[in-house]
Structure 1
């Protein structure tokens, strides 16, 4: 499958909650959650090297429509609500159309 839609988001957790925020975002990969879908081809959660309360998420999806469809579901809405409880500030959200690259974990 090819990535047709993606985005980067950076979130600033409440003081001292960066690790918890990153752990919570990683549950998005659990069965039944959006990132576990075959339509989510990239789901990368990272923490800033200079500020442990800043967490970055990079996602790549087969299409924007699939991303929106999955995030309209109850599991995604529950996850978003729990994430918002830990977030102090939302940084810019950047969407994009990938043209190539490499990912290996």
Structure 2
């Protein structure tokens, strides 16, 4: 599959909750999670090297419509609900139109 839509979100967790935020975002990779959808081409969660409470998530999807449809589902809404109370404020989003690239991820964090 090729990604035609994507975004990066940067979230700042409440003090000391960076790992909890990472853990919830990685739930998206679970067997029934939104990132397990064949329409999700990239789901990368990373942390700031300078501040462990700053977390970034980058996603690539086959289309914006597919992303919205998957995120309207029960599994995605359950992940979103678990995020409640972890971020210190609103995430900053940057949209992307993927062109080309490479990704290799570890099996577990």
Q: Unpaired segments of 5 or more residues in structure 2?
A: none
Unaligned stretches of 5+ in structure 1?
none
Once the two structures are superposed, the pairs formed by residues 1-105 of structure 1 within 5 Å of their partners are 1-105=1-105
Instruction: Kindly indicate which of the two structures has a greater share of residues assigned to strand.
Output: 1
SS at match of 2:3: coil
Q: Greater CA deviation, 72-81 or 44-53?
A: 72-81
Report the TM-score when normalising by structure 2: 0.92
Q: What root-mean-square deviation, in Å, do the aligned CA atoms of Structure 1 and Structure 2 show? A: 0.9
Deviations 1:25-61 (A, max 9, x none): 1011001110010110100000100011010000001
Does structure 2 conserve the Cα–Cα contact (< 8 Å) formed by 1:16 and 1:53?
yes
Q: Higher helix share goes to which structure? A: 1
2:92 counterpart SS class = strand
**CA drift at 1:91:** 3.5
Runs of 4+, deviation exceeding 4 Å: none
Q: 1:6: how far off?
A: 0.4
